[in-house]
Structure 1
């Protein structure tokens, strides 16, 4: 049997059920009613609850302690076997669209497009053309800066890949984004990836294919307090988002439509929906910031480096010529603090590179002053972009809906067991290559 895995990153299915109780999200509600809601478990320490960790576990069957992939973009050719190559070795044709922190090691994939943050080969002419503007749009979305050339290439990709039945959705996304509902840009990208996935599966008919969608995670992190089914006492300010908006319902409704579309397109396929982990409401006011021009900021701060690569939201990687330069860069970055001595960045030194997070979580007004060693510096507000007010935080419990199960068979199991579950559904074995 052919199996399709939809990776709905960090979606809270208990919130889905609350919306369903209000008569909304009929497709997702129907799947849960007929097939049950399994729960998956993963790491327990909060600092180890990150999607780029849990999705590696979901793809390899290994815990963080076993696979050792702690940062987004760390996966490479030396990383453990993933579900795609394990199935391919047993004769199952495979495909993937944007799997998080995964590398394409397939010899003859039906199609494979990596996520926007991971360097890996692309399989498929259509995907080779589409990947650059999608990656540029995702990495520019944090501060709403999508260049005209990226927009043009993205429009070209949309015109050649969008399914006609969804044209109205794209128009609605653009119109809403123009009116200030910026979360619709992330929804447009997920809508496009879903249309590409349907086209690729129809064309190549793989035995197993996965689709990763991230707009829901992004929107929950930013707007969970605006959800009509949020039961806490915190609220987002009106300048941040209109009080009558429910971005969470917007993206859940998109996913409801996407799942319905895929069910209609491939009625004989076994469908699995997995979340990896999920988000709960955050309990305090936390603001996220992102550097606008990473290289320019590092140069002005006197941080030595060879090159710098942005990652998600506030994260970036500083590559150095050698360990000595990395040590000097770490010391310089670590010397950047608030007037009270609180670090603005955290730095993970990997030898010849640094994984850096801009962790300052309070406001940065125009007159904000900070310290760089013995220097007093102003102008940080112009160097950063406001990303979001944190609304959602990670919970290691994830969810699985599997159309191959009956509602009464819903169970809880470790996320490490998901690849074996997928392999069995494909008529294959879960076995890694000998080391």
Structure 2
């Protein structure tokens, strides 16, 4: 394989090989086509059971070369517990600089890191390696974690800190124009709000470009989740014929092209990445896994998700003591960090007492002083439904929870895309699937690194 001095790794979570082929063939993704046609192309295999197909598990595999059984990290937000070296750790030992922008479930050694790490917005304990990035990180994390909560509002101080950060970290004219256009579109039509996720993508890309040009890293990652999010929500609008529960005509007119829109937004990122690279830079694209239609629950009304209106209210109304921090992650799940392991054991027992119409209310997984939890009811409930503790009413269900997002439409699939484009590479499609555990060594083999581990 041809060597390059630098690697830009585009981490586009859960893009699907069949959809990529379809959209390219239809002419919708000219820059993905340009990258693919100058790449060695692999389909990766996550090599895991269905229950272990989660991006926060697979991205650790990408970054470490270890299977889930070997790295042992199951929950989103638990990246801090990773005991093995990731790509940037290996490169730091070789005195090579990394710029890790938004990668999922990461860990790093602050004393040994050469470069900058900006964690994903679901991070529980891992903070940006450079405090200058905290205003941006805190703003994005709050908006991503609470994007389904219509009552959530950020304070003026946080908004101003974010704006000051963006003004000095690459905010582009094109992004400002896109923001203004999005707001105008929403004023004309309130149904345009779903496109906001791609605005965050633009902001993240501006920050990535600015920092990349300033730091000149040997290795960089750029992670985006918007397409995965749209696939989970809107696959049934893209291919309604595959679902029992079909969207009505008004929903189809609004969301029918949502997944394609997400891929086209990423195509713009690919265009700019191709324009950034020089004769000594390789571009790698990886998706870790992909998705497929989720039809399993349609006969029962579809799979729904419920989140608390307010976490302080959840703790006080249900009288759950000992929690010192709540860290929301994706969908309905969150970490309840307790003041001690004993407090976590007590919380675990108390959460198990809550039911709704005879069903357990909470998912519960405890590790030390951390209880990973969330509402484990995924079907429709009547408005007058109560939460019970033993034989006593604890609260009204909808007083504590609201239905987040729409009916689940996409589920994970073990196949993923992995393309390597070095300046002198020729297009080659590998017929045999590549184990996801081999991605790390493939990436390191592109760089001038003597030993992979």
**Structure-2-length-normalised TM-score:** 0.88
Q: Contact conserved, 2:445 with 2:452, CA < 8 A, in 1?
A: no
Alignment of 1:147 with 2:154, yes or no, is yes
What is the Cα-based RMSD across aligned positions, in Å?
2.4
Where does 1:25-424 land on structure 2 (aligned, <5 Å)?
25-35=29-39, 37-76=41-80, 79-105=83-109, 107-118=112-123, 119-124=125-130, 126-144=132-150, 145-149=152-156, 150-160=158-168, 161-176=170-185, 179-227=190-238, 232-234=242-244, 237=247, 241=251, 243-245=253-255, 246-268=257-279, 269-283=281-295, 284=298, 285-307=302-324, 308-339=326-357, 341-388=358-405, 389-404=407-422, 405-410=425-430, 411-424=432-445
SS in 2 for 1:142: coil
Q: State the aligned residue count.
A: 430
Cα distance in 2 for partners of 1:348, 1:226 equals: 34
Residue 328 of structure 1: CA displacement?
A: 2.5
Structure 1 residues 259, 380: CA separation in 2 closer, same or farther (over 3 Å shift)?
same
Cα distance in 2 for partners of 1:113, 1:141 equals: 20
SS in 1 for 2:79: coil
Residue 95 of structure 1: CA displacement?
A: 0.8
Residue 346 of structure 1: CA displacement?
A: 1.3
Cα distance in 1 for partners of 2:450, 2:421 equals: 20
Cα distance in 2 for partners of 1:71, 1:257 equals: 32
CA deviations 1:237-265 (Å, max 9, x no partner) are 45994534321111111100011011112
**Structure-1-length-normalised TM-score:** 0.91
